[in-house]
Amino acid sequence: MASSYFSHDSNARNDDKIINLRMKYGMEGYGIYFCIIERLRDEPSYTAKKDYNAIGFDLHADAEKVRNVVESFGLFSFTDDGECFYSESLNNRMAHMDGKRTKRSEAGKKGAAKRWDSKAMAMPTKTDSKAMAMPTETDSKAMAMPTETDGNKTKLNKTKENKTKDSLSGGRVQEKSAFSRWQEVWGFPNAVAQQDLADWVSEFGDELVTWVIDYAARRAVQARAADKYLDRVLTQYREQDIKTVEQAEAEAKQHEKTAKANAPRPQRYGKQARQETTPDWAKPDYKAPEVSVTDDQQEEIQARLAALKKLEESKSD
């Protein structure tokens, strides 16, 4: 399945060219378009001949609609001789994907060659065979494993139990392969993830890749983002020359410490106390400003006071 994979944007339907296609042919045209993209993905050069009858027969679609989808909306490009067509978007995606896979494969081969050095892993020669000879019957007694009668049953069981337990040093899990750990965290890996895991284990080693999977699990990375997350982390390890779990743990602690220091402080919520200022007229030392009144204003005031007095007297009668 890995050979048939290609990336697909979740908002492809909102592309201007796709919108024009959907306006003309609806979701039928949209389906024809992506079926053609899938056919191109399966071609060795990601290019197909303009045999619209054959394509229409394969897709159970009208050949004229197929021709219009290919030629009328600017979704495809054509070779110089005009006999074949291709998708520039698909080609760009596949070039990135093919280059990435090649880079991983080369890095994996280099890592494997470094670890499995022919001199370090050479088989013993005929001269050395005596030194590696199997123990004789006489020696076998001295090398025999302790039995239950030796009183070591409890000790042996405890040792076996400790090997199978998780020995965490920042989350490291022992005695588990990267593949099985992936399956425990995110389920059975698809073909792309399996190939990526094989490349990563070949380059970085099973223990380090397993540790990264556990670290991703503690950070609640979802299954759909697992492959990209590990690729990003291990690419960083390659750039930083991180090769051991101890180095990865130290880098993770430093990263978490920096992230915590730079995290914004939580905002405090609640009703703030209302602050009011005392007006000048309410202050103890307040003095009313002096107001000058003209003679005409004084006469008007006296006339109004006289009218009010007269009104009060009439009410009392």
Q: What is the residue type of 32?
A: I
Q: Give me the mean pLDDT over the 137-142 stretch.
A: 48
pLDDT in tens, 178-226: 999 999 899 988 888 889 889 999 999 999 999 999 999 988 889 888 9
For residues 152 and 169, the model is more confident at 152
Question: Which of the given ranges, 68-77, 97-106, 161-170, 212-221, has the highest pLDDT on average?
Answer: 68-77
The whole-chain average pLDDT of the chain stands at 78
- The DSSP code for 77 is E
Taking the C-alpha atoms of residue 248 and residue 193, their distance in angstroms, rounded to an integer, is 22
| Choice among 52-61, 238-247, 251-260 with the minimum mean pLDDT | 251-260
Does 162 have pLDDT greater than 60?
no
